[in-house]
């Protein structure tokens, strides 16, 4: 028995051009620092999307409670749009869904977003729910593995929703390089996938992980009195570079594959340097990560939703053939690297 991804759909709030955010918001706050401007220009981002534009409301001085009220206002409608579109694309009704899994590290409320969506979507009363919180950018892949396990055991369709509203956690602007990088990279998105037991677009084959606890302080996401604060070390690409090839080869070897056998790469675009590192360590051609760079350019880093957006872009733009192996890869706090092997059907 195998689980298959039948549909992927993304819902986005209004866009904001990167240059506009710099010119009208971050630039003035940072006294038009040339160094900070270079960081924004080098982020690989053309535009992002935000439920709360800093041009309309500067949330940097808001309390965590105020930010959570905004999360509660915007999360359910955005998630509803993504799930509804994915179910429609898969030819399913909400009552067909046996399990709804919601991933989010950018907001908390009770009843949770899973309960809110179960009600607004009118899921069946016996539909199971799971909330995955605070895992960060890589959370989509372990959550996908859990959803696939449910589908394999119960032989019923399930939905995974990754929803992140990073715009609610803008911090007061300082010359701290890590904070400037965060302000230059992150955007909001909700991406839903439908997983079903019947043969469909992508078979979910296997998932693997590696964590380097010795570098846990390189990437953190801490709850503070003024939202969730990220710390991001410039050493992250270097650390990931030490693990990425071994992690990928371990996943592939178990299935009789090698790196050159892979026909599609859906790599979480944590930033241009991370993509460059993956490309170099795996010996990939320049075009291999085109889907990742496109999603980064048009949406920024949307935390857990991003790797699913890249996977959707890859299927649309690269048109992999039946039988082609595809590897999805994402990184986050821990430092943690997750990889998932999929096969085009």
Asked whether residue 133 carries a pLDDT value surpassing 80, the answer given is: yes
- Residue 161 and residue 278 in one domain: no
Per-residue pLDDT of 26-55, as tens digits, reads 999 999 999 999 999 999 999 999 999 999
Does 231 lie in the same domain as 181? Answer: no
Same domain, yes or no: 141 and 34: yes
Is 177 in the same domain as 207?
A: no
Is the pLDDT score of 1 beyond 80?
no
Any idea what the CATH number is for the domain that residue 32 is in?
3.40.47.10
**236: burial class by Cβ within 10 Å (0-12, 13-18, 19+)?**
buried
Last residue of a domain, one of 196, 212, 228: 196
Distances (CA, A) of 322 to 137, 201, 315: 29, 9, 11
Domains in the chain: how many in total? Answer: 2
63-73 pLDDT, tens digit each: 999 999 999 99
Domain limits for position 183: 3-196
| Domain termination site, one of 168, 196, 224 | 196
* 228-248 residue pLDDT tens: 999 888 899 999 999 999 999
Q: How far apart are CA 323 and CA 202, in angstroms?
A: 9
Supply the residues annotated as catalytic. Answer: 137
Number of Cβ atoms within 10 Å of the Cβ of 197: 19
56 and 188 both lie in a single domain? yes
The model's confidence at residue 318, banded by pLDDT at 50, 70 and 90, is: confident
Place of tokens 């709030």: 13
Query: Which pTM value belongs to this model?
Result: 0.97
Name the band, by pLDDT with cuts 50, 70 and 90, for residue 23.
very high
* Among 178, 196, 214, residue at a domain's last position: 196
């Amino acid at each position: 028995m195998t689980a298959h991804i039948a549909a992927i759909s993304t819902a986005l709030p209004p866009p904001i051009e990167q240059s506009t955010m710099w010119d009208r918001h971050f630039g003035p706050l940072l006294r038009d620092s040339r160094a900070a401007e270079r960081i924004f220009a080098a982020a690989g981002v053309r535009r992002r999307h935000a439920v709360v534009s800093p041009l309309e409301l500067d949330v940097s001085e808001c309390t965590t409670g105020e930010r959570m009220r905004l999360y509660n206002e915007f999360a359910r409608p955005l998630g509803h749009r993504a799930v509804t579109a994915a179910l429609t694309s898969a030819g399913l009704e909400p009552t067909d869904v046996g399990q709804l899994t919601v991933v989010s590290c950018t907001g908390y409320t009770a009843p949770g977003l899973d309960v809110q969506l179960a009600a607004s979507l009118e899921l069946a009363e016996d539909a199971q729910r799971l909330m995955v919180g605070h895992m960060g950018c890589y959370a989509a892949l372990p959550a996908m593995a859990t959803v696939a396990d449910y589908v394999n055991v119960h032989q019923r369709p399930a939905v995974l929703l990754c929803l992140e509203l990073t715009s609610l956690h803008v911090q007061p602007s300082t010359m701290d390089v890590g904070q400037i990088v965060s302000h230059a990279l992150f955007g909001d998105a909700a991406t839903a996938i439908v997983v079903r037991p019947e043969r469909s677009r992508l078979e979910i084959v296997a998932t693997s992980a590696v964590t380097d606890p010795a570098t846990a302080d390189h990437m953190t996401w801490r709850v503070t009195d003024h939202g969730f604060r990220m710390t991001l070390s410039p050493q992250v690409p270097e650390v990931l570079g030490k693990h990425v090839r071994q992690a990928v080869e371990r996943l592939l070897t178990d299935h009789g594959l090698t790196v050159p056998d892979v026909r599609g790469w859906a790599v979480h675009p944590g930033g241009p340097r991370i993509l460059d590192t993956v490309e170099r360590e795996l010996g990939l051609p320049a075009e291999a990560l085109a889907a990742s760079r496109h999603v980064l350019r048009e949406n920024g880093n949307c935390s857990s939703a991003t790797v699913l957006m890249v996977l959707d872009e890859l299927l649309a733009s690269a048109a992999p053939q039946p039988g082609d192996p595809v590897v999805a890869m994402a990184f986050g706090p821990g430092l943690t690297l997750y990889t998932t092997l999929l096969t085009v059907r």
